[in-house]
């Protein structure tokens, strides 16, 4: 096609110089003539290039003006800008983006891990500690996604009786993670703030006056009732029944909720804590004390508990616990150690056969029909009294029904029935997609092996994880190392020594297919509150 032909009236896309045969042409700005037309897909391609050099952390990126305004004519585009999540998904691919949900594992890429490790080692001693504190969480990280909370489009702040000053000093607008939130406040509280401001002004004026009027002499007539101070009004609003001593105010993003800002929380399965700090131990004993006071008849001390450094956020708090057993994946995720202890105890009571319970780690042995399963490790899920067998979730994801005589309990020394996570890692969806697009993280489905393996969890992700394809977003260092590795691999294969490896991989794939069919359907997902209710109800009636 001759695009230089001035006689040609056929409109062409100003990016790709192709016509409507490649897709409908749009006129998104005020550019005229040969620049007027373009394909939306071509505009999007250009817009996504804009984000390549930006930081993936939401605190560091600003809404890019080039997504809204034409670079040539400076008029705003009449088509909506791409969202950050859309842009990032265009780099990772939808298949990987769709893996960002609960019970998936995010694993750090070996190259990324190594490069962080080198940075920590190479840093001067003053920086080492600071770097280590954050990087240590990412090196060989294997993060189980425990929560994906939909973005609500607002932030909430809870105010109690002590927060009167805070209320009167609230900013109209706050900026966080690249978004702007505007204060939304009820009329009654607005009144309190206005009254307080008036009071302040009056006080200032009084201070300014040299001769304040003398206080009037006491009269015999009763004084008119003094109006309540703003503080008193605030307290009376809080003490209303429906407020129960505190009130929640909201900062809302006028553009509403955004899928890309969904909050993802995950805990690192790969950093068991060898010992607890005194304050951690104190917190644990407090929780045990509380549970024991509530349920004095129950023996909690023999429930195996292993503590983990779960991630950099709130690392002095227990943010999540996994209790082995249950009906689904092989574990249940709960928000507090108290509930975890109650749930673990409940599972112990529902045993089937001596020394077995839901959540018990077992080794399969003595099977004649399925000799291949002998030696496999698994977790007991549920006892089928009608069959006299345990539903066991095996390390490779397979669900099988096995008689207690073919199961040997494993000691709970290395891994507890409760995994306690101090701290977690948090991302927005768009941020994590960005880091995945850079090549830093891969994703895979979590299975029992991730909570059961007796070797390093991160190593167990090898061969299971999928990574984003190489794009313009890919980290330059990642790319270089990848190419080197690819080169080495090719040399290795050419030398004729790689055949064995290839075969092994193929076999592995076959196994997975077979297992997939036998796998049970996903368990009904319950919220923390539902699990808590269930456990408490059961305890009340059961004891």
| CB 523 within 8 Å of CB 329 | yes
Least distance (Å) from Zn ion to the CB of residue 72? 4
Among 12, 31, 418, 461, binds Zn ion (CB under 5 A): 31
Closer by beta carbon to Zn ion, 72 or else 239: 72
Closer by beta carbon to Zn ion, 70 or else 287: 70
Strand-pairing partners, residue 247, are 159
Among 13, 339, 446, 452, binds Zn ion (CB under 5 A): 13
Q: Is residue 134 involved in binding Zn ion (CB under 5 A)?
A: no
| CB 329 within 8 Å of CB 448 | yes
Q: Is residue 154 involved in binding Zn ion (CB under 5 A)?
A: no
Least distance (Å) from Zn ion to the CB of residue 39? 3
Angle at 500 between CA 497 and CA 505, to 5 degrees: 130
Per-residue x/- track, 53-92, Zn ion (CB under 5 A): -----------------x-xx-------------------
Closer by beta carbon to Zn ion, 73 or else 194: 73
Least distance (Å) from Zn ion to the CB of residue 7? 22
* Angle between helices 84-92 and 429-438 in degrees, nearest 10: 30
| CB 61 within 8 Å of CB 431 | no
Q: Quick one: tokens of 359?
A: 């959540």
Q: Is residue 29 involved in binding Zn ion (CB under 5 A)?
A: yes
Q: Is residue 319 involved in binding Zn ion (CB under 5 A)?
A: no
Side-chain-side CA neighbours of residue 340 (13 Å): 28
Segment contacting Zn ion by CB under 5 A, of 15-23, 269-277, 338-346, 353-361: 15-23
Among 12, 39, 51, 58, binds Zn ion (CB under 5 A): 39
Q: Is residue 51 involved in binding Zn ion (CB under 5 A)?
A: no
Closer by beta carbon to Zn ion, 472 or else 485: 472
Q: How far is CA 495 from CA 296, 490, 491, 498, in A?
A: 68, 9, 6, 8
Q: Quick one: tokens of 423?
A: 């701290």
Structure letter (DSSP) for residue 303 = S
Least distance (Å) from Zn ion to the CB of residue 4? 17
Closer by beta carbon to Zn ion, 14 or else 271: 14
Distance CA 323, CA 341 (A): 8
Q: Quick one: tokens of 528?
A: 């923390």
3-class SS string, 355-402: CCCCCCEEEECCCCCCHHHCCCEEEEEEEECCCCEEEEEECCCCEEEE
Closer by beta carbon to Zn ion, 74 or else 133: 74
Closer by beta carbon to Zn ion, 70 or else 319: 70
Segment contacting Zn ion by CB under 5 A, of 5-13, 171-179, 225-233, 355-363: 5-13
Segment contacting Zn ion by CB under 5 A, of 21-29, 124-132, 333-341, 525-533: 21-29
Closer by beta carbon to Zn ion, 29 or else 379: 29
Q: Is residue 25 involved in binding Zn ion (CB under 5 A)?
A: no
* 112: nearest Cα among 479, 483, 490: 479
CA gyration radius for the chain? 31
Q: Is residue 48 involved in binding Zn ion (CB under 5 A)?
A: no
Segment contacting Zn ion by CB under 5 A, of 39-47, 219-227, 253-261, 426-434: 39-47
Q: Is residue 43 involved in binding Zn ion (CB under 5 A)?
A: no
Q: Quick one: tokens of 204?
A: 């200032």
Segment contacting Zn ion by CB under 5 A, of 9-17, 253-261, 271-279, 491-499: 9-17
For 312, the 3-state DSSP assignment is coil
* 467: nearest Cα among 456, 458, 453, 478: 478
Segment contacting Zn ion by CB under 5 A, of 34-42, 233-241, 363-371, 465-473: 34-42
Closer by beta carbon to Zn ion, 82 or else 260: 82
Least distance (Å) from Zn ion to the CB of residue 87? 18
Q: How many residues bind Zn ion (CB under 5 A)?
A: 10
DSSP output for 132-170: HHHHTTTTT-EEEEEEEEPP-SEEEEEEEGGGHHHHHT-
Q: Is residue 180 involved in binding Zn ion (CB under 5 A)?
A: no
Q: Is residue 15 involved in binding Zn ion (CB under 5 A)?
A: yes
Closer by beta carbon to Zn ion, 43 or else 159: 43
Q: Which residues contact 42 (CB under 8 A, 6 or more apart)?
A: 13, 15, 16
DSSP output for 183-236: EE--HHHHHHHHHHHHHHHHHHHHHH-SSPPPPPPP-SSPPPPPPPPHHHHHHH
Q: Is residue 273 involved in binding Zn ion (CB under 5 A)?
A: no
Closer by beta carbon to Zn ion, 25 or else 189: 25
Segment contacting Zn ion by CB under 5 A, of 35-43, 79-87, 185-193, 288-296: 35-43
Q: Is residue 42 involved in binding Zn ion (CB under 5 A)?
A: yes
Segment contacting Zn ion by CB under 5 A, of 33-41, 256-264, 506-514, 527-535: 33-41
Phi, psi of 84 (to 5 degrees): -60, -40
| CB 58 within 8 Å of CB 177 | yes
Segment contacting Zn ion by CB under 5 A, of 29-37, 164-172, 368-376, 404-412: 29-37
Closer by beta carbon to Zn ion, 72 or else 281: 72
| CB 155 within 8 Å of CB 184 | no
Distance CA 468, CA 440 (A): 9
* 451: nearest Cα among 408, 518, 528, 393: 393
Give residues in contact with Zn ion (CB under 5 A): 13, 15-16, 29, 31, 39, 42, 70, 72-73
């Amino acid at each position: 096609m001759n695009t230089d032909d001035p006689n040609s009236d056929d409109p062409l896309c100003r990016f790709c110089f192709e016509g409507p045969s490649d897709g409908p042409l749009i006129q998104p700005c005020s550019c005229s003539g040969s620049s007027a037309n373009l394909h939306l897909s071509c505009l999007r391609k250009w817009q996504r290039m804009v984000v390549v050099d930006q930081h993936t952390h939401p605190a560091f990126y600003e809404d890019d003006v080039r997504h809204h305004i034409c670079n040539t004519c400076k008029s705003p585009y009449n088509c909506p800008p791409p969202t950050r999540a859309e842009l990032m998904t265009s780099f990772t691919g939808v298949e990987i983006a769709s893996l960002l949900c609960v019970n998936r594992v995010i694993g750090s890429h070996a190259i990324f891990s190594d490069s962080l490790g080198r940075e920590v080692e190479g840093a001067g001693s003053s920086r080492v500690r600071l770097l280590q504190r954050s990087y240590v969480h990412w090196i060989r990280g294997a993060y189980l996604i425990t929560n994906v909370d939909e973005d609500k489009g607002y932030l909430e702040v809870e105010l109690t009786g002590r927060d009167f000053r805070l209320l009167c000093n609230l900013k109209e607008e706050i900026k966080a993670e690249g978004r702007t939130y505007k204060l939304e406040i009820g009329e009654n509280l607005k009144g309190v703030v206005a009254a307080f401001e008036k009071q302040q002004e009056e006080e200032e004026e009084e201070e300014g006056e040299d001769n304040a009027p003398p206080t009037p002499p006491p009269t015999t007539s009763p004084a008119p009732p003094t109006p309540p101070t703003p503080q008193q009004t605030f307290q009376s609003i809080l003490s209303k029944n429906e407020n129960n001593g505190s009130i929640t105010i909201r900062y809302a993003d006028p553009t509403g909720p955004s899928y890309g800002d969904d909050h993802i929380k995950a805990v690192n399965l790969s950093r068991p804590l060898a010992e607890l700090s005194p304050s951690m131990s104190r917190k644990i004993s407090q929780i045990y004390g509380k549970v024991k006071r509530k349920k004095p008849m129950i023996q909690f001390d023999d429930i195996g508990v292993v503590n983990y450094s779960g991630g950099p956020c709130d690392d002095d708090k227990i943010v999540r616990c996994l209790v082995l057993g249950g009906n689904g994946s092989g574990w249940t995720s709960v928000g507090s150690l108290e509930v975890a202890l109650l749930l673990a105890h409940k599972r112990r009571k529902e045993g089937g056969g001596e020394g077995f319970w839901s959540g018990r780690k077992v080794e399969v042995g003595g099977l004649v029909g399925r000799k291949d399963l002998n030696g496999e490790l698994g977790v007991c899920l549920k006892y089928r009294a009608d069959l006299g067998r345990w539903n066991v979730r095996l390390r490779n994801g397979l669900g099988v029904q096995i008689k207690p005589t073919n199961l040997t309990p494993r000691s709970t020394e290395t891994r507890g029935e409760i995994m306690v996570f101090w701290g977690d890692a948090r991302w927005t969806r768009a941020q994590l997609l960005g880091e995945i697009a850079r090549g830093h993280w891969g994703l895979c489905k979590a299975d029992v092996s991730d909570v059961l393996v007796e070797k390093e969890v991160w190593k167990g992700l090898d061969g299971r994880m999928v990574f984003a394809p190489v794009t313009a977003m890919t980290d330059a260092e990642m790319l270089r190392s990848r190419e080197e590795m690819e080169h080495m691999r090719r040399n290795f294969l050419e030398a004729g020594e790689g055949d064995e490896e290839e075969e092994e991989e193929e076999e592995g794939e076959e196994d997975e297919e077979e297992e997939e069919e036998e796998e049970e359907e996903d368990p009904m997902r319950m919220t923390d509150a539902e699990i808590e209710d269930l456990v408490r109800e059961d305890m009340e009636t059961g004891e």
